[in-house]
Amino acid sequence: MPATPADLFAALDRLGIAHRTVTHPPLFTVEQSRALHAEVPGGHTKNLFLRDKKGAVFLVVALADAAIDLKGLHRVLGASGRFSFGSAELMMELLGVTPGSVTPFGVINDAGGRVAVVLDAAMMEHAVLNYHPLDNTMTTTIARDDLVKFLEATGHPPRIVAVAAPAGPAADDGLAPRLNSGSNLPST
């Protein structure tokens, strides 16, 4: 059975990773999530669950407004042939989530290490980032360095690569020192 949000939060706590989660109506698309941006500080993101021609699986994570050239992305990442989107069945098998809930936190369910995680370099300029915690009725805020720490702890060291044109200037909102010190995130 896939990990639950409670399992994820417990794993983050065990790793000493500060996180804050807000609950909201289900959000299935980047467009639907725009209303949340004013309430939740940090970089808002999108996640692409992709397969190459040989069946290798990639999770590409970028800022919500980033433009990604899917036709040329396979060359940037050294994949075998053009990408296609992974099926809902494969997504559930590897990440334990359904479409609309894709998140880098899903690799907590990929015990076999099949998913290669790629973090866009422009996204990683933000001090804090936001992702669904395995469920699209919540958004969890985490420091960028703690995201990397979590991914490494699950056996998924990320590749940080420029895969998209930047969506805008990075927002160093002053939260990183507090997040990295293990203190609680500020409330909104």
- Reported as a single tens digit per residue, the pLDDT across 170-181 is 444 443 333 333
Across 28-55, average pLDDT: 84
Q: What pLDDT, on the 0 to 100 scale, is given for residue 182?
A: 36
Q: Per-residue pLDDT tens for 42-74? A: 999 999 999 999 999 999 999 998 999 999 999
Interatomic CA distance for residues 3 and 68, integer angstroms: 29
Take residue 141 and report the two structure tokens written for it.
Answer: 């805020």
In a domain, 186, yes or no: no
* Residue recorded with tokens 């993101």: 45
Task: Check: CB of residue 116 under 8 Å from CB of residue 59.
Answer: yes
- Domain assignment present for residue 178? The answer is no
- Domain holding 145, by residue range, is 5-172
Look at residue 41 in the predicted model and tell me its pLDDT. Answer: 86
The answer on pLDDT for 75 being more than 50 is yes
**Alpha-helical segments (H) within the chain:** 5-14, 30-33, 70-77, 88-95, 144-153, 176-180
CATH of the domain at 71: 3.90.960.10
Strand pairing class (84-85; 138-143): unpaired
Answer yes or no: is 28 within a domain.
Answer: yes
pLDDT at 179: 36
Asked whether residue 10 is assigned to any structural domain, the reply reads yes
Q: What pTM was computed for the model? A: 0.85
In a domain, 182, yes or no: no
Domain count across the chain = 1
Using a pLDDT cut of 70, give the percent of the chain over it.
Answer: 83
